[in-house]
Structure 1
Amino acid sequence: MADTLLDVLAGHRRAGRGDRPALIDRRRSVTYAELEGEVGARARELRAAGIGPGVRVGAVLTTLLDSVVDFAAATSLHAAVLVLQEAAGAAERSAALADFGAELVLDGEVLTRLRPTTAAGGRDPAFAMASSGTSGRPKVISREWAGTLHNSAAFARTLGLDADDTVLTTSPLGHSYAIEAGTLAVLTAGACQLIPAGPLTPARAALLVERHRPTVLQSVPLILDWWGRGDVPRAGTWKRCVSAGEGLPERAAEPWREAGLTVYDHYGNSELGQLTLNAAGGNGGVGHPLPGVRIKAGNGEPGPVEAAFPGLSPVRMEGGHAVPLADADGWVTTGDLGVLDDDGLWLTGRSDLLINIGGNKVSPVEVEAVLRTLPGVRDCAVVGRPGPSGDNQVWAFVEAGADEFDAAALRRRAREQLMTVKVPTVFRRVDALPRTGSGKIRRGLLIEDGD
């Protein structure tokens, strides 16, 4: 397989696919041949500016395909590239750049030098992401570029992406799901990626779909649920959709399935990229490992989920220095808990989010799954918080209308399905749960400030 995106694009041109669409944004579209030309020209400019093998570069990805050109050019020069989200705050971005040890920042036409560029000194090409930070400060994870590209290609093959597909990716391109399962997977498969201009209402999404006729939707449960209650599943020429980030509730998958789509649940993480795919999305499982991915988890009872992928040895960057995350055999502890059986992997929660109630371990995932089935609950998040006496309590934050929310009724219904220790002590109504740009619930904010 090709080592750089420039190699990938050239390969499609040589194979006669140069006139196929590659990227579409709100301003313009480019074919594979045109994209190859733009990336090659940009690479020459960046090389003249000092970007080369091992140079640490922060690259801001926006909703414009120009930023994909920048990213492809920098990685094709064998630089170590940290992907930054456009919406990240100044303090968050500065912290990520400092942890990565960035020497340059590429933000559109502006190239900022943070410190003198040093000789590569054996540093290899790398792909780095700042995690979404759902439970605290984002972490900068860096891994080998070649292994990352291979991992995205494995995802594309398993999903069945080909040159006839147009993929609509709703998450920001600066998020690992959108750039790896989206852009990298799409380009290795010779498909086309449709980049929307920020969040879309169902009505705006339906118009976009009718115009560009995407065949694959890559999104998160929140968007699938929202759009599913509109006319989006029956607009256009959809074939399949993929959900990632959090467990996909059956109610969110149902409208898409009824419209004739195959609904996939997908599991990945910042440390290793894409890990599993499940063509029966909404059933609670995340499917079998992708080709090359190895997974370990509990057998019968939930246990720590560990994963490995050949050619990837992720590290956490702290103050410019690398802290290894993989053991000697390449295994990485994901922080998730789950069960692995003949039907694939079933996630049961995060090990760092388990709530200790008098020695009993309560899984927020289990409690949330029950609460989401109750009347009036649009969505919810369960966390552990200290009570008046200092002992841990189970708190449920519930998205619900003011006229629909009845804490006493929810507590009674929950007691019918959960052990007493798992029933939330506190039910708190919220208009909307705090979320990251990719739709994940920011539980850390709920733990810190629930009043």
Structure 2
Amino acid sequence: MDDTLIDVLAGHRRAGRGDRLALVDQRASVTYAELERAVVARARELRAAGIGPGLRVGVVLTSSLGSVVDFAAVTSLHAAVLVLQDRAGAAERAAALADFGAARSLVDGLVTELGPVEPGDGGWSFAVTSSGTSGRPKVISRAWAGTLRNSAGFARGFGLGPDDVVLTTSPLGHSYAIEAGTLAVLSAGACQVVPPGPLTPARAALLAERHRPTVLQSVPVVLDWWGRGEVPRAGGWQRCVSAGDVLTAGAVAAWHEAGVPVYDHYGNSELGQLTLTPAGGQGAVGRPLPDVGLTAGSDTPAPVAAQYPGLAPVRMEAGRAVPLADGAGWVTTGDLGVLGDDGLRLTGRSDLLINIGGNKISPAEVETALRGLPGVSDCAVVGRPGPAGESQVWAFVEAGADEFDAAALRRGARELLVAVKVPSVIRRVDRLPRTGSGKIRRGLLMEADA
């Protein structure tokens, strides 16, 4: 397999695909041959600026051609690259760079020295920050070659090919967007469309008519939002893929009515892309992708562990690497699930289980029940201390002020759940707090003033 992105781009040119579009942003588009020339030229400039094998570099990725060229050039120089989100706050970004031990940063095309180069090197690696849904984001680093191979495996499993045009809605600084998006698209010789910021359904429909994307790579909240408009029937969609949060029946309904299949995808910061399935909903995320190993409960939920060869994931803390895999390469994901003949079904996070008098309650189970009740657009369930310090189940519900009736929701929940799982507190919110990739920020809901 080709090791660098320059190798990947050159391979498409040699195969006669040099004149095919590779990337489209809000201002320009480039073919594979043009992108190859741009990355080679940029790599020459960055090498002259001191970037080379093993140097730890933080790269802020934006949804722009220039940002992708910078990323491709730095990785092709065999540097250790930390992908940073452009919407992250200054303090969060600085903390991530410090944990990674970055010697340089690359922001808007400018290289900045952050400190001396440490003895030894960071290896040829790829690092991301975790979503930070339950606290401060962690920096996870893995081997570059294994990461690129994992993204190529996702592309094959999803059936991406040179005729596909993939519209990616998440910012490229998120691991899902860059790995299951950019790296997968480039490995398949397809084209990626990267719009600037969130698009309203009206703007998304116009973009779909203009660029005729065949694939939508997105998250449940966007699928739901766009589905309420005319986006599923605009352009020439052939399929969608969703990740990052629970894919509900409501989020896929409009797409299915328009004849567009929706795939559910499961991955994480430690190991990349893990499973894929035609939307089963309610936690079903399907069978492992090629070369992915999975273990979970057989009848009852148990911790999910995963393995992918050649990644050797570590968590970076103050510039030092803390191994995450055991001796055989298995990593505990923090999720709970059941693995059967139809693949993996997730049942919640082990670190979010709520202990009520010895009863372990899965927020995912309570959320599934609440989402089926009238007036609930979406919800999030967390454990919070009650007046006497005891654990309580709290539910935060997205609902209109005129539709919200906490007592009615509690009565409905009692019909679906045993008493200990019924929320003690049900609170209405206009919008649940989310990360840039659409994941619910449960840590904020656990705070006293939420």
The offset of 1:251, in angstroms, is: 1.2
> What amino acid is the match of 1:266?
H
> What amino acid is the match of 2:40?
G
Aligned to 1:282: 281
Aligned residue for 2:274, secondary structure, equals strand
Output the CA distance in 2 between the equivalents of 1:344 and 1:155. Answer: 16
The offset of 1:188, in angstroms, is: 0.2
The offset of 1:313, in angstroms, is: 1.0
Aligned to 2:199: 200
For the pair 1:72 / 2:76, whether they are aligned, the reply is no
Aligned residue for 2:222, secondary structure, equals helix
| Aligned 8 A contact 1:337 1:350 in 2 | yes
Aligned to 1:13: 13
Alignment of 1:35-54 (within 5 A): 35-54=35-54
The offset of 1:115, in angstroms, is: 1.2
Output the CA distance in 1 between the equivalents of 2:109 and 2:202. Answer: 33
Aligned to 1:163: 162
Aligned to 2:133: 134
Aligned to 1:353: 352
Output the CA distance in 2 between the equivalents of 1:391 and 1:109. Answer: 52
> What amino acid is the match of 1:7?
D
For the pair 1:184 / 2:153, whether they are aligned, the reply is no
Aligned to 2:304: 305
The offset of 1:123, in angstroms, is: 3.9
> What amino acid is the match of 1:41?
A
Aligned to 2:93: 93
Aligned residue for 1:199, secondary structure, equals coil
- Identical amino acids, percent of aligned pairs: 76
Output the CA distance in 1 between the equivalents of 2:242 and 2:448. Answer: 29
Output the CA distance in 2 between the equivalents of 1:105 and 1:259. Answer: 45
Aligned residue for 1:328, secondary structure, equals coil
Aligned to 1:23: 23
| Aligned 8 A contact 1:50 1:117 in 2 | no
> What amino acid is the match of 2:66?
D
The offset of 1:450, in angstroms, is: 4.6
The offset of 1:281, in angstroms, is: 3.9
Aligned to 2:109: 109
The offset of 1:117, in angstroms, is: 3.0
Unaligned runs of 5+ in 2: none
Alignment of 1:206-285 (within 5 A): 206-282=205-281, 284-285=283-284
| Aligned 8 A contact 2:67 2:109 in 1 | no
Aligned to 2:59: 59
| 1:138-191 deviation line (CA, Å, top 9, x unaligned) | 000000000000000000000000010000000110000000000000000000
Aligned residue for 2:423, secondary structure, equals coil
The offset of 1:124, in angstroms, is: 1.7
> What amino acid is the match of 1:344?
G
Output the CA distance in 2 between the equivalents of 1:16 and 1:109. Answer: 31
> What amino acid is the match of 1:48?
A
Output the CA distance in 2 between the equivalents of 1:371 and 1:238. Answer: 31
Aligned to 2:317: 318
> Would the alpha carbon gap of residues 280 and 433 (structure 1) be closer, same or farther in structure 2, given more than 3 Å must change?
closer
> Would the alpha carbon gap of residues 416 and 227 (structure 1) be closer, same or farther in structure 2, given more than 3 Å must change?
same
| Aligned 8 A contact 1:253 1:281 in 2 | no
Output the CA distance in 2 between the equivalents of 1:228 and 1:123. Answer: 44
The offset of 1:118, in angstroms, is: 4.6
Provide the alpha-carbon RMSD of the alignment: 0.9
Aligned residue for 1:117, secondary structure, equals coil
Output the CA distance in 1 between the equivalents of 2:255 and 2:414. Answer: 32
The offset of 1:79, in angstroms, is: 0.2
| Aligned 8 A contact 2:132 2:138 in 1 | yes
Aligned to 1:144: 143
Q: Number of aligned residue pairs: give it.
A: 450
Output the CA distance in 2 between the equivalents of 1:400 and 1:421. Answer: 24
| Aligned 8 A contact 2:53 2:77 in 1 | yes
Aligned to 2:430: 431
Output the CA distance in 1 between the equivalents of 2:319 and 2:282. Answer: 42
Output the CA distance in 2 between the equivalents of 1:224 and 1:281. Answer: 15
Structure 1 stretch 263-272 or stretch 274-283: which is displaced more? 274-283
| Aligned 8 A contact 2:103 2:114 in 1 | yes
The offset of 1:286, in angstroms, is: 0.1
Aligned to 2:328: 329
| 1:17-54 deviation line (CA, Å, top 9, x unaligned) | 00000000000000000000000000000000011000
| 1:36-78 deviation line (CA, Å, top 9, x unaligned) | 0000000000000011000000000012111000000000000
Output the CA distance in 2 between the equivalents of 1:398 and 1:145. Answer: 40
The offset of 1:109, in angstroms, is: 2.2
Aligned to 2:415: 416
> Would the alpha carbon gap of residues 413 and 307 (structure 1) be closer, same or farther in structure 2, given more than 3 Å must change?
same
| 1:245-304 deviation line (CA, Å, top 9, x unaligned) | 011001111111111112100000000000000113425310000000000001100000
The offset of 1:108, in angstroms, is: 1.6
> What amino acid is the match of 2:56?
R
| Aligned 8 A contact 1:263 1:281 in 2 | no
| Aligned 8 A contact 2:70 2:109 in 1 | no
| Aligned 8 A contact 1:277 1:288 in 2 | yes
TM-score relative to the length of structure 2: 0.99
| Aligned 8 A contact 1:252 1:282 in 2 | no
| 1:102-144 deviation line (CA, Å, top 9, x unaligned) | 000001221100012356x364200000111000000000000
Aligned residue for 1:143, secondary structure, equals strand
Name segments (4+ residues, structure 1) moved above 6 Å: none
| Aligned 8 A contact 2:56 2:122 in 1 | no
| Aligned 8 A contact 1:385 1:392 in 2 | yes
Aligned to 1:153: 152
Output the CA distance in 2 between the equivalents of 1:355 and 1:219. Answer: 30
> What amino acid is the match of 1:377?
V
| Aligned 8 A contact 2:165 2:191 in 1 | yes
> Would the alpha carbon gap of residues 310 and 90 (structure 1) be closer, same or farther in structure 2, given more than 3 Å must change?
same
> What amino acid is the match of 2:78?
H
Output the CA distance in 1 between the equivalents of 2:398 and 2:343. Answer: 31
Aligned to 1:34: 34
Aligned to 2:4: 4
The offset of 1:355, in angstroms, is: 0.3
Aligned residue for 1:287, secondary structure, equals strand
> Would the alpha carbon gap of residues 283 and 364 (structure 1) be closer, same or farther in structure 2, given more than 3 Å must change?
closer
Output the CA distance in 1 between the equivalents of 2:406 and 2:365. Answer: 19
